[in-house]
Amino acid sequence: MSRTAVPADAIHEPSPVHDEEARLRELGYQPVLARRMGGFGNFAISFSVISVLSGCMTLYGFGMATGGPAVMLWGWAGVGLFVLCVGLALAEVTSAYPTSGALYYMADRLGGRRWGWYTGWLNLLGLLGAIAGIDYGAALFTGAFLNLQWGFEPTAGSTFLIFLGILLLHAVLNLFGVRLVSVLNSVSVWWHLAGVALIVGALAFVPDRHQSVDFVFTEFVNDTGWANPFYVAAIGLLLAQYTFSGYDASAHLSEETSNASVTAAKGIVRAIWVSWIAGFALLAGLSFAIQDYAATQASDTGVPPAQILLDALGSGAATALLLVVIVAQLFCGNAEVAAASRMVFAFSRDNALPGSALWRKVSAHTQTPVPAVWLAVAVAALLAVPSLYSATAYGAVTAINVIGITPAYAIPIYLRLRAGDRFVPGPWSLGRWSKPIGWTAVVWVAVVTVLFCLPQKSPVTVDTMNYAVIALAVVLVLASVWWYVARRSYGTPTAYGTAREEAEIAEGIV
């Protein structure tokens, strides 16, 4: 595919036409997906993927060991603020480029083919890691529920089988089309908000004993083996950063959203700040209700939040609330499969993946990328296989999500900043706040990417190794090797059916 240079002041010309299908053709793609999602549905998919009832609950035990309540609460507040900056900056670029390819398409247009290539592979790694992390977390909580209800003893093998069943469920649900996905996500919003209110309310009023304010906001716990408290606190930020990921789902579903140039941008930002408030309330509610810290960490259920509910509320109420959490996690995983499959579809549409001709196929009946759905869940299953052999594998899977997807957020933001006034924003813009917010986002992403490549426990052994850095290295090496195979066929297209054949970035800009 040939690439021709453009003038330095012509990186992007927003269309005066508000017809999103015409806009998509301007960006180079023939519409093939059904545009059946409204603004609330678009917000709902990012909110469902963030899912405080998934991230906060599944990594609460990790947080108890890596800094304790103080790091969980203050870390959530601080990380949420920085993530909001990332979301605001990303929303501005999304408004200019509302396509299913999202991050890699933005990077390609603003920086050239190689920027788009590596951004796409990082984004794909993060999205697939997110499916694995979310659905494996749901499997852990399902095991805890079965333990409370029928005395079932969860093992690594049984948990993995539950995980595979959940993946299959999400694959099947995503085959029915985006309208069902949108409806489920809309229900998910209210389920999450009502679930958080129910859990926090029950933990606030039912228990006879609560921890003190001093305990919740200042108690520091270090069970990592590392001596440096700053290092431990930094590692503990994974709980918040992992939860605050996946909001690019709004961008990935933009080709199926009405007025996407505005609603997808708003969906990203709204999902972050609503989750910020709800997550803080949930973490505070759980921390105040801890009855026995050590016993909670060593819970027979395998899930510390389940033990908190059990100790504070009794068996019946704990079981019921655990079921509320599991359903929320299932909503979350379903939304993530939708987002990841659209990324697989879009990346294959531009010939970036091995077997692209298969993965970009769309069902004529449901207008859903069926092969992409199956590929997404299959790779997610492979990413979770180490959980059969290592007790620390879940932390590694969640770190894979963070160090894959978070840098992919920053690349288009950085390239937009580098472009300066040559970038003309879409209808949703930060105006004069674009640069300070954008640079804050880029610096934050650089910091957390380094943090989550570091070992989480000491001493570092085969069992405690952070395999996320290995997964990242493998993907980057494979992406580099595949570049030399596919570079002649890979590329985002020129404008579809218009005279704007010159509107691309020269490869020499890279």
What radius of gyration do the chain's Cα atoms show?
22
**Helix extents (H) in 98-155:** 103-111, 113-150
Virtual torsion, Cα 56, 58, 60, 65, nearest 10 deg: -140
pLDDT confidence of residue 392: 66
pLDDT confidence of residue 498: 38
Q: Tell me what percent of the chain is helix, strand and coil, each rounded to the nearest 5.
A: 70, 0, 30
Comparing C-alpha atoms, which of 262, 274, 131, 287 is closest to residue 204? 287
**Phi, psi (deg, nearest 5) at residue 133:** -65, -45
The SS3 assignment for 257 reads strand
Is residue 84 within 8 A of residue 272, CB to CB? The reply is: yes
320: pLDDT confidence band, cut at 50, 70 and 90?
Answer: very high
Task: List the structure tokens of 428.
Answer: 């949703």
492: exposed, middle or buried (C-beta count within 10 Å: 0-12, 13-18, 19+)? Answer: buried
401: pLDDT confidence band, cut at 50, 70 and 90?
Answer: confident
The residue ranking higher by pLDDT, 20 or 319, is: 319
- Residue 37: beta bridge partners? 257
197: exposed, middle or buried (C-beta count within 10 Å: 0-12, 13-18, 19+)? Answer: middle
- Placement of tokens 């093939």 in the chain: 32
**Helix extents (H) in 314-392:** 315-349, 356-359, 370-383
- What is the H or E stretch that residue 462 is in? none
Q: What is the DSSP letter of 300?
A: T
Is residue 35 within 8 A of residue 256, CB to CB? The reply is: yes
The answer to whether residue 361 scores a pLDDT higher than 80 is yes
Q: What is the pLDDT of residues 425-456, one digit of tens each?
A: 899 999 999 999 999 999 999 998 888 888 88
Q: Which amino acid is at 308?
A: I
The answer to whether residue 204 scores a pLDDT higher than 60 is yes
Q: What is the DSSP letter of 487?
A: T
- What is the H or E stretch that residue 67 is in? strand 66-67
Report how far residue 82's alpha carbon sits from residue 64's, in angstroms, rounded to the nearest whole number.
22
Task: List the structure tokens of 338.
Answer: 């939708």
Q: What is the pLDDT of residues 152-177, one digit of tens each?
A: 888 889 999 999 999 999 999 998 87
- Residue 66: beta bridge partners? 222
The answer for residues whose C-beta is within 8 angstroms of residue 130's C-beta and 6 or more apart is 49, 245, 246, 336, 340, 401, 405
The answer to whether residue 11 scores a pLDDT higher than 50 is no
Report how far residue 348's alpha carbon sits from residue 115's, in angstroms, rounded to the nearest whole number.
17
Size (the chain), residues: 510
Is residue 405 within 8 A of residue 472, CB to CB? The reply is: no
14: pLDDT confidence band, cut at 50, 70 and 90?
Answer: very low
Is residue 419 within 8 A of residue 505, CB to CB? The reply is: no
Report how far residue 222's alpha carbon sits from residue 305's, in angstroms, rounded to the nearest whole number.
18
- Residue 67: beta bridge partners? 221
pTM exceeds 0.75 for this model = yes
pLDDT confidence of residue 9: 39
Peptide bond into 7 cis (omega under 30): no
Report how far residue 246's alpha carbon sits from residue 123's, in angstroms, rounded to the nearest whole number.
10
Report how far residue 58's alpha carbon sits from residue 137's, in angstroms, rounded to the nearest whole number.
6
The answer to whether residue 393 scores a pLDDT higher than 70 is no
Question: Nearest 5°: CA angle at 303, between 298 and 308?
Answer: 80
- Placement of tokens 């716990």 in the chain: 221
376: pLDDT confidence band, cut at 50, 70 and 90?
Answer: very high
Is residue 224 within 8 A of residue 65, CB to CB? The reply is: yes
Q: What is the DSSP letter of 33?
A: S
Q: What is the pLDDT of residues 265-296, one digit of tens each?
A: 999 999 999 999 999 999 999 999 999 999 99
The SS3 assignment for 338 reads helix
Is residue 35 within 8 A of residue 257, CB to CB? The reply is: yes
